[in-house]
């Protein structure tokens, strides 16, 4: 409809301030009148927009579709896209597109962010740096474990992990963090239960490595989509009520080790010496055996050679043997006196004075 410009102009003139009346004329109360808003609104009620409003509606729809079709994935994230609740794809960092108006929905998963789960560590959880800080239970009960040799130890630890499979993390397990907690505690109790208390207290790196391997295997079998990046085994100790007894046991073990080392030292000194003496005696006996055998063989060979000569000339050989034996015996008998059997008086032949001087 056409605007009634004359009436609008008349209303604007009425709103303008009127000049004051000349002096001597009455002030008659002729001030400006306020605008009549009802009349103005009545003028606009019948007004129609031009045909361009269809273009505005179309542009608004296009902007809405474009805004709901685009999404951005950060450099440390992955986007899990669902169409009517069903997983259709996983996209990486950058600008991506999807069906608009919640036909497809997007869930951003921080795959490169490191999270920390702490067990038996008595400290206030930092919820900004970790979404999961372990079950809200007594820290001592979580870390109190039975070792393989039926002793009790306090084993606090922490697990650092990340999301390695967005699909498994979102769809396979209802609460992956809670599953990690349960599996971590069960696995640590299994590893500690297979170790002695001394191994738990002194070989923490070995236990941590074995725990990490077993925990990752359990997480993969449960399809949690989580990866264990590091395991930190805190200072392990025995409970305070049994600490004095444990110290006494340690002192006794150290004393036992000391005695064992001393005994081994004496053993290392005595056993080699005894073995050397035994070896020497054996070698001496072997040498004596060889000498006796060779001597016996020589005597036997000499006897056989003499026997052969004896068979050829018995009388000559007997005479020679007799003379050789007398030649060996007589030199050791001192002075020798040969007396005729028919001699009756021996005094002229005996020099008794020389014998007395020899006796003195």
Encoding tokens for residue 335? 């002075």
Cβ(188)–Cβ(212) under 8 Å? no
Q: Evaluate if residue 39 carries a pLDDT over 80.
A: no
Task: Return d(Cα 258, Cα 344) in angstroms, integer.
Answer: 92
Q: Evaluate if residue 170 carries a pLDDT over 70.
A: yes
Q: Evaluate if residue 37 carries a pLDDT over 70.
A: no
Share of the chain above pLDDT 90, in %: 39
Tell me the chain's radius of gyration from C-alpha atoms: 61
Per-residue pLDDT averaged across 242-256, rounded? 85
Closest CA to 92 of 70, 73, 112: 73
When pLDDT is cut at 50, 70 and 90, the band that residue 138 belongs to is low
Task: Return d(Cα 338, Cα 329) in angstroms, integer.
Answer: 16
What's the DSSP call for residue 27?
-
Write out pLDDT tens, residues 297-331.
888 888 888 778 777 778 877 788 788 888 888 77
Task: Return d(Cα 119, Cα 49) in angstroms, integer.
Answer: 68
The torsion angles phi and psi of 163, rounded to 5 degrees, stand at: -90, 120
Q: Evaluate if residue 24 carries a pLDDT over 80.
A: no
Q: Which is it for strands 78-83 and 86-91: parallel, antiparallel or unpaired?
A: antiparallel
Greater model confidence, 84 or 135: 84
Long-range contacts of 238-242 (CB under 8 A, 24+ apart): 238/151, 238/152, 238/153, 238/154, 238/197, 238/201, 239/144, 239/152, 239/153, 239/154, 242/152
Greater model confidence, 163 or 304: 163
Domain regions of the chain by residue span: 65-109, 115-238, 260-335
Looking at domain 115-238, its CATH architecture is: 2-Layer Sandwich (3.30)
Q: Evaluate if residue 253 carries a pLDDT over 90.
A: no
Q: Evaluate if residue 31 carries a pLDDT over 60.
A: no
Using CA atoms, how far residue 163 sits from 111, 167, 219, in Å, is 5, 10, 11
Per-residue pLDDT averaged across 286-304, rounded? 89
When pLDDT is cut at 50, 70 and 90, the band that residue 353 belongs to is low
Long-range contacts of 163-167 (CB under 8 A, 24+ apart): 163/109, 163/110, 163/111, 163/113, 163/225, 163/226, 163/227, 164/111, 164/225, 164/226, 164/227, 165/225, 166/78, 166/80, 166/90, 166/109, 166/111, 166/225, 167/80, 167/87, 167/90, 167/225
pLDDT at 360: 47
Per-residue pLDDT averaged across 232-246, rounded? 86
pLDDT at 28: 41
Task: Return d(Cα 5, Cα 81) in angstroms, integer.
Answer: 59
Using alpha carbons only, give the angle 210, 215, 218 rounded to the nearest 5 degrees.
Answer: 130
Q: Evaluate if residue 35 carries a pLDDT over 90.
A: no
Q: Evaluate if residue 29 carries a pLDDT over 50.
A: no
* Mean pLDDT taken over the chain: 80
pLDDT at 328: 81
Q: Evaluate if residue 289 carries a pLDDT over 80.
A: yes
What pairs with residue 117 in β-bridges?
159
The dihedral built from the CA positions of residue 208, 213, 214 and 218, taken in this order, carries a sign that is positive
- Please report which residue ranges of the chain form alpha helices under DSSP H: 5-15, 37-45, 53-69, 139-143, 166-171, 176-193, 197-202, 204-222, 243-312, 314-329, 352-359
Around 34, how many Cα atoms within 13 Å sit in the side-chain half-sphere?
A: 3
Write out pLDDT tens, residues 185-237.
999 999 999 999 889 988 999 999 999 999 999 999 999 999 999 999 998 88
pLDDT at 236: 87
Share of the chain above pLDDT 70, in %: 73
Per-residue pLDDT averaged across 19-27, rounded? 45
pLDDT at 136: 42
The dihedral built from the CA positions of residue 333, 337, 342 and 348, taken in this order, carries a sign that is negative
Kindly report the pTM of this predicted structure: 0.55
pLDDT at 345: 62
Per-residue pLDDT averaged across 107-117, rounded? 93
Greater model confidence, 333 or 278: 278
pLDDT at 325: 83
Least confident residue range of 94-103, 162-171, 230-239, 339-348: 339-348
Task: Return d(Cα 106, Cα 83) in angstroms, integer.
Answer: 9
Greater model confidence, 197 or 135: 197
Q: What is the DSSP string of 253-310?
A: HHHHHHHHHHHHHHHHHHHHHHHHHHHHHHHHHHHHHHHHHHHHHHHHHHHHHHHHHH
């Amino acid at each position: 409809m056409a605007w009634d410009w004359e009436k609008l102009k008349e209303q604007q003139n009425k709103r303008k301030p009127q000049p004051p009346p000349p002096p001597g004329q009455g002030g008659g109360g002729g001030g400006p009148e306020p605008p009549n808003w009802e009349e103005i609104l009545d003028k606009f009620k019948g007004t129609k927009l031009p045909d361009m409003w269809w273009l505005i509606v179309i542009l608004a729809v296009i902007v809405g579709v474009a805004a709901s079709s685009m999404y951005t994935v950060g450099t440390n994230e992955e986007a899990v896209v669902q169409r009517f609740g069903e997983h259709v794809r996983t996209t990486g960092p950058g600008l991506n597109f999807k069906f608009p108006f919640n036909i497809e929905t997007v869930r951003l998963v921080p795959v490169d962010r490191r999270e920390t789960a702490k067990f038996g560590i008595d400290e206030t959880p930092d919820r900004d740096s970790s979404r999961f800080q372990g079950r809200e239970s007594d820290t001592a009960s979580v870390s109190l474990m039975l070792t393989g040799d039926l002793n009790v130890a306090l084993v606090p630890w922490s697990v650092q992990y990340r999301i390695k499979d967005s699909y498994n993390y979102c769809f396979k397990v209802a609460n992956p963090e809670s599953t990690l907690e349960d599996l971590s505690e069960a696995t640590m109790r299994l590893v500690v239960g297979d170790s002695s208390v001394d191994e738990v207290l002194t070989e923490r790196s070995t236990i941590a490595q074995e725990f990490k391997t077993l925990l990752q295997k359990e997480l993969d079998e449960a399809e949690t989509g989580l990866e264990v990046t590091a395991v930190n085994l805190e200072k392990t100790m025995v409970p305070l009520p049994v600490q004095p007894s444990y110290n006494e046991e340690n002192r006794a073990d150290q004393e036992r080790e000391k005695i064992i080392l001393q005994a081994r030292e004496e053993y290392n000194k005595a056993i080699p010496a005894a073995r050397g003496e035994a070896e020497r005696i054996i070698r001496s006996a072997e040498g004596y055996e060889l000498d006796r055998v060779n001597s016996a063989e020589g005597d036997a060979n000499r006897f056989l050679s003499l026997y052969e000569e004896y068979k050829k000339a018995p009388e000559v050989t007997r005479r020679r043997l007799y003379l050789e034996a007398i030649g060996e015996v007589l030199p050791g008998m001192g002075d020798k006196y040969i007396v005729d059997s028919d001699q009756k008086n021996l005094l002229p032949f005996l020099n008794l004075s020389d014998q007395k001087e020899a006796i003195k």
